[in-house]
Amino acid sequence: MKGNQPQQGQISYMAPHLSNICDPKHPLRILAEKIPWDYFERELASLYSHTGKPAMPIRLMTGLLILKQMNGLGDETVVEKWVENPYFQYFTGEAEFQWRLPFDPSDFVHFRKRIGVEGVEKILQVSIALHGKKAMEKEIVIDTTVQEANITFPTDSKLHSKIIDQCVKIAKVEGVALRRSYKRTVKKHIMAQRFRRHPKNRKRALSSARQLKTIAGRLLRELERKLSVEQKNRIKEKLALFQRVLQQRQNDKKKIYSLHEPGTCCIGKGKEHKKYEFGLKASIALTRNSGIAVGALCFSNNPYDGHTLPEVIKQVGALRGSSPTGAICDRGYRGKSKIDETRVFTPKSPRKNATAYEKRKARMRFRRRAGIEPIIGHLKKQFGLGRNFLKGNDGSMMNVMLAAAAFNFKKLMRAWALLCVWILRWILPEKINQSYQGSLSEVSS
């Protein structure tokens, strides 16, 4: 059942109204008044039933989701900050200052599952619409990056030891008596993996790695023998995943790098400091001059950059209402020259008979393309794109969209803050000087 938002107009004699506490020129308050909260109420109301206990208000959950991503906070920390910050409470629609947690942080999980990727895409669409004409530029800049999954650096020994632990847990839950748990043996073999690259430790580490794989296979076969048909059907996906990990080899494609995130890919971007990254490929689309994020998508199975263009351009057209006429990309997108009505520009040698104007125009175009690199760095460091803590492919898609939306909202807030500074620095001193000169003339007369 959909929850009701507290009325902003109600005034209590016991506590002051938040509108009297918060600075009217604060960028977060201005953003709260600019966002069309009624749009979210209308679009997301159909996801709630008409019976049962009322859920948290849509504005409260949506506002906290935006604040969480804009400030790089977690589910628990953003709720704690909400209790301390009156601007956070005003942003989420509260009328009076609250002293208690609004809800349990686990409600974020239920809300994200409720709205899904489509609901998060609506937040991104609103963040684009608030920029007005600046977001409607004809040419866009597109680039890909890696959204790393929240996993440890994968090795065969780690995966095999996790299979052993999970097999023991499954046996305990299903009431199966194993011949051995290998608890102390596994601990010894894991310790042998430390400093395995050292020549003195290499032989012992390789032997322990083989023993871990043998123990994992032994426990898995014992489970399959002793579990009933009904028990196997309940956990057949997990057992198949264990079997796939044990059978994979070094040069196999589409390997499993994590048991809790099996869709994780190994992606090499040619970085000197980080040869491989483990996660999913994310594509970001920005307007050419204003640098507004008008598209954000995540892809599984590590596709070629050029093959991601149709979906990205389609999303940009759906979010803005009009498709771009040009997409500026790097050399990783070679092979594509046109997608529907959108031309694809990639760096290449100029024609022999090209004029100086054409060369200068192409040079300026690809200089603007390079501007997407620092923005991707900001998305990773400040807005949660660097590491995805949401589960599954849907979680990865929601995280990249929320990061782009938070970047757009923060861009608006910075613009309003600079405008207020400009007004205070140039306009107000002139008025003060005029009033001072007027008072002097009255005194002299």
Positive/negative CA dihedral, 61, 65, 67, 73? positive
Assess if residue 62 is contained within a domain.
yes
Q: Taking CA 297 as the corner, what is the angle to CA 145 and CA 368, rounded to the nearest 5 degrees?
A: 55
Assess if residue 67 is contained within a domain.
yes
> What is the reported pLDDT for 436?
42
Q: How confident is the model at residue 445 (pLDDT cuts 50, 70, 90)?
A: very low
As a whole number, mean pLDDT of residues 84-111 equals: 92
Assess if residue 55 is contained within a domain.
yes
- Asked whether the predicted pLDDT for residue 299 surpasses 80, the reply is yes
- Final residue belonging to a domain, choices 247, 282, 316: 247
Assess if residue 35 is contained within a domain.
yes
- Which residues 6+ apart lie within 8 Å of 292 measured at CB? 128, 131, 134, 135, 286, 408, 411
Tokens of 24: 């009217």
Residues 228 and 173 in one domain: yes
Residues 299 and 373 in one domain: yes
pLDDT digits (tens, 9 = 90+) for 393-437: 999 999 999 999 999 999 999 988 887 766 666 665 555 455 545
Assess if residue 147 is contained within a domain.
yes
Assess if residue 10 is contained within a domain.
no
CA atoms of 414 and 30, how far apart (whole Å): 11
Rounded to the nearest integer, the mean pLDDT of the chain is: 89
Positive/negative CA dihedral, 414, 418, 423, 429? positive
Residues 229 and 304 in one domain: no
Instruction: Please name which of 273, 267, 312 lies closest in space to residue 293, comparing C-alpha atoms.
Output: 312
The domain tally of the chain equals 3
The 8-class DSSP code of residue 331 comes to G
> What is the reported pLDDT for 417?
83
DSSP bridge pairs for 148: 279, 387
Residues 148 and 163 in one domain: no
Q: What is the CATH number of the domain that holds 363?
A: 3.30.420.10
Residues 277 and 381 in one domain: yes
Assess if residue 372 is contained within a domain.
yes
Residues 53 and 171 in one domain: no
Enclosing domain of residue 176: 156-247
As a whole number, mean pLDDT of residues 112-137 equals: 95
Residues 226 and 101 in one domain: no
As a whole number, mean pLDDT of residues 310-320 equals: 95
Assess if residue 432 is contained within a domain.
no
DSSP bridge pairs for 147: 280
Residues 144 and 160 in one domain: no
pLDDT digits (tens, 9 = 90+) for 185-244: 999 999 999 999 999 999 999 999 999 999 999 999 999 999 999 999 999 999 999 999
Q: Are 117 and 398 in contact (CB under 8 A)?
A: yes
Q: Taking CA 181 as the corner, what is the angle to CA 176 and CA 184, rounded to the nearest 5 degrees?
A: 165
